[in-house]
Amino acid sequence: MLDTKVTKLELKDPSLLETRAYINGAWVEGEATFPVHNPATGDLIANVTDIDIEGTRQTIDVAYAAKKEWAAQTGKERGAILRKWFDLMVENADDLATILTAEMGKPWAEARGEILYGASFIEWFAEEAKRIYGDVIPGHQRDKRIVVLKQPVGVVGSITPWNFPNAMIARKVGPALAVGCTFVARPATLTPLSALAMAVLGERAGIPAGVLNVIPGTDSSGVGNELCTNDKVAKITFTGSTRVGQILMRQAAGTIKKMSLELGGNAPFIVFDDADVDAAVDGAMIAKFRNNGQTCVCANRIYVQAGVYDEFAAKLAEKTKDLNVGNGFGDGITTGPLINDAAVAKVEEHISDAVSKGATVTMGGKRSDLGGTFFEPTVLTGVTRDMVVAKDETFGPVAPLFKFEEEDDVVAMANDSEFGLASYFYSRDLARVWRVAEALESGMVGVNTGLISTEVAPFGGVKQSGLGREGSKYGTEDFLEMKYLCMGEIQ
């Protein structure tokens, strides 16, 4: 493994590196712990308390006990606490970024960007907390009056992935707490430290005991099953693979839980003849290589119209030379390690399959000389629909270029997937922009941009990419129940 660069994290506030579980406003140290390693070096960062099924059950109980008083607070009161939490996240962004880079590997600047992105959801829902409006409906009879109330669903169980260990929790806990729900967060085993640091700041912001709980651990399936089957949990919110999302849906069916699922993707990225090719190359660099290709909205299939294919392919390969692979704490590093050996194996499998079926590697194509799980940013040309990269999400730094002739054909190819999270295309023909944007089967479409994620818009997918939306003015809906009062005898 690589030489040791990060063994003890240099933090302005070392108390943010918390290794205990946060349950009912207390820091709980269990007998069982599990190691968290730095994927860039293999260094042990910390040993973290391992909460099991029984601990999860107890945590659900305290979240259930806390929900009535938290829901009774006004939106303004809850919003003020969330606003304070946002302020503390921003003030401590450097330390939160250091913890995130250490446990997940992304370059420090990108990690700090994630911290601010995650914080933006807390800020947004601090404001939305005051705007949970109901409705007044004209009575259907002279003596009737009808009022619609919006009320918090109750206890929310949250399961999140390793690739955005701060923002994926923030995107859920923000709306949940804003509307008056209580929250049990189970972060990924690989990256619990960011979630625990968020809880340190949440406690300082004044979140009451039992409202926010963070239960790190290794028994993902056992804890997940408890969250899904415990009838004190009203809702499950999950971000991760479609495979696990399907497991959770089946488990939650027994108690008809509400489900928010942000699942897998396989985003098409289309470049038409009339596009600004240089802009399209810049967009593809972001859409493909952000977070080392480890995002659910990464461009997984790049379709380029025949007239600009060679120009685009050459310019993209040239641009990838600007990517600087290395330890995320290094100066000027743009691309960190892949999360683990399994991720490297999947990338290698996708490349070897494509090459065996006729694709050409024009850039990268193999593990980095740095060793470990570092991998060279890769561009493939001559990619065809029979290759694995056309069907499966690579979740790594591989840009497969497909050539196409006609608009109808590329839209059909783009839609030929069980996934429908994000799509991207570049065109300067306004009529084409509307035709293609309306025809693409995805929850989000980037038009002449490769970066679409923001707290102000409703993030989510269609088909097997998930259920529900996160962020935006729509983001509270999934944490609310609607109830109407029909009042009679109003003479």
Ligand X SMILES: NC(=O)C1=CN([C@@H]2O[C@H](COP(=O)(O)OP(=O)(O)OC[C@H]3O[C@@H](n4cnc5c(N)ncnc54)[C@H](OP(=O)(O)O)[C@@H]3O)[C@@H](O)[C@H]2O)C=CC1
Q: Please choose which of ligand LO4QSZO4, ligand X, none residue 74 contacts, taking the beta carbon within 5 to 8 angstroms, the exact cut-off set by kind.
A: none
What's the rounded Cα separation, in Å, for the pair 302 and 159?
A: 31
Apex 64 CA angle, 61 and 66, nearest 5: 110
Indicate which residue of 114, 262, 376, 455 is catalytic: 262
Q: Which of 164, 183, 269, 312 binds ligand LO4QSZO4 (CB under 6 A)?
A: 164
Binding to ligand LO4QSZO4 (CB under 6 A) within 168-197 occurs at: 168
What's the rounded Cα separation, in Å, for the pair 471 and 469?
A: 7
- Token readout for 227 is 């969250």
Residue 453 found at the interface with ligand LO4QSZO4 (CB under 6 A): yes
Q: Which of 163, 394, 427, 442 binds ligand X (CB under 6 A)?
A: 163
- Is 237 within 8 Å of 478 (Cβ atoms)? yes
Single out the residue of 484, 161, 425, 219 nearest to residue 305, CA to CA: 425
Region near ligand LO4QSZO4 per CB under 6 A, out of 33-41, 52-60, 294-302, 353-361: 294-302
Residue 188 found at the interface with ligand X (CB under 6 A): yes
Strand partners, 444: 422
Axis crossing angle, helix 75-91 with helix 93-104, rounded to the nearest 10: 70
Q: Which is nearer to ligand X, 228 or 308 (CB)?
A: 228
> For residue 30, with 0-12 CB atoms within 10 Å meaning exposed, 13-18 middle and 19 or more buried, which class applies?
middle
Strand partners, 158: 185, 237
Cβ count near 17 (within 10 Å): 19
What b-and-e string marks burial along 460-485, b requiring 16 or more CB atoms within 10 Å of the CB?
A: bbebbbbbbbbbbeebbbbbbeeeee
Region near ligand LO4QSZO4 per CB under 6 A, out of 46-54, 119-127, 289-297, 352-360: 289-297
Binding-residue pattern over the window 221 to 260 for ligand X, x denoting contact by CB under 6 A:
x--x--------------xxx--x--x-------------
Q: Which is nearer to ligand X, 103 or 376 (CB)?
A: 103
Amino acid at 134: G
Residue nearest ligand X by beta-carbon distance = 224
Residue 263 found at the interface with ligand X (CB under 6 A): yes
Whether 91 is a known active-site residue: answer no
What's the rounded Cα separation, in Å, for the pair 292 and 140?
A: 57
Q: Which of 59, 163, 182, 230 binds ligand LO4QSZO4 (CB under 6 A)?
A: 163
Question: What is the smallest separation between the CB atom of 402 and ligand X, expressed in angstroms?
Answer: 20
Question: What is the smallest separation between the CB atom of 35 and ligand LO4QSZO4, expressed in angstroms?
Answer: 24
Question: What is the smallest separation between the CB atom of 453 and ligand LO4QSZO4, expressed in angstroms?
Answer: 3
What's the rounded Cα separation, in Å, for the pair 11 and 93?
A: 11
Catalytic residues: 262
Interface with ligand LO4QSZO4 (CB under 6 A): 163-164, 168, 295-297, 453
